[in-house]
Structure 1
Amino acid sequence: MTTAADIMHPGAQWIPAHETLDRAAELMARLNVGALPISDSEERLCGIITDRDIVVNCVAKGLDPAKMTCGDMAKGTPRWIDAGADVSAVLDEMESHQIKRLPVIKDKKLVGMISEADLAQHLSEDQLAGFVEKVYARH
């Protein structure tokens, strides 16, 4: 059985909710990633911030990324998957919520992220096509 831990990109890093968006952008650049899980004060997942969120929901609206926090951008219920979950559960979670990145948690700690690139390396062409169709479908 292929698990979330088998296909994830290990070494994901939290950004605390109190950190500003400019700090998030700096960390994304340093880590060469487009998204960071946001943690609350107890290192629990409270959202995900993407580079697109920073541009569209802050900069394009004339807001100051040095004053807005990651917590300001955390909306909705964050989705995640257990490291031991089967890859079919990963696909179900990502497809049903139309998300492109999924934090992987083990023993209540962040251990990795699964992105489209990770799926592309581990899925069959048919599985990948099904994923793309479901995630990018307009509702």
Structure 2
Amino acid sequence: MTTAKEIMHPGARAIPATETLDRAAQLMRELNVGALPVHDVNDRMCGIITDRDIVTKCIAAGRDPSKVTCGDLCEGTPRWIDAEADVSDVLTEMESHRIKRLPVVEDKKLIGIITEADLARHLTDEQVAEFVERVYAGA
């Protein structure tokens, strides 16, 4: 059984919901990532902020990224997976919610994130094709 922990990109960093989008963009640049999990004051994950969110929901909307917080843009229920979950559970979670990034938690702490690139490195071509079809169908 291949687990989420085995295929994840380790060392994911989260950002507080109270942090501004300009700081989120700076942290993304420093870490060379396109998304950051967002946590509340109790260190509970409350969403994910992406570089695309910053551009389309803030900058393109004429808002100031130094005044808009990560929490302002977080929408919906955050999705995550336990580190010991089987890769089939990872695929089910990502496909059923049509998400491209999935935080991995262990003992209620963020330890990594699974992206499409991680899936491509660890799955068969057939599994990757099925994932792409399910996540991007109708997108």
Same fold (TM over 0.5): yes
Q: Secondary structure at the match of 2:93?
A: helix
Q: Secondary structure at the match of 1:58?
A: helix
Using the size of structure 2 for normalisation, the TM-score is 0.99
Determine whether 1:17 maps to 2:11: no
- AA aligned to 1:111 is I
Aligned equivalents of 1:42 and 1:26: distance in 2? 23
Determine whether 1:67 maps to 2:86: no
Partner of 1:86: 86
- AA aligned to 1:104 is V
Q: Secondary structure at the match of 1:114?
A: strand
Aligned equivalents of 1:127 and 1:87: distance in 2? 11
Q: CA deviation at 1:78?
A: 0.6
Which runs of 5 or more residues in structure 1 are unaligned? none
Q: CA deviation at 1:42?
A: 1.1
Aligned equivalents of 1:40 and 1:116: distance in 2? 26
Q: CA deviation at 1:70?
A: 0.2
Using the size of structure 1 for normalisation, the TM-score is 0.99
Which runs of 5 or more residues in structure 2 are unaligned? none
Q: How does 1:1-139 map to 2 (within 5 A)?
A: 1-138=1-138
Q: CA deviation at 1:40?
A: 0.5
Aligned equivalents of 1:78 and 1:109: distance in 2? 14
Count of residues paired in the alignment: 139
- AA aligned to 1:65 is P
Identity %: 70
- AA aligned to 1:28 is M
Q: CA deviation at 1:108?
A: 0.4
Question: Which of structure 1's runs of 4+ aligned residues deviate more than 3 A?
Answer: none
- AA aligned to 1:49 is I
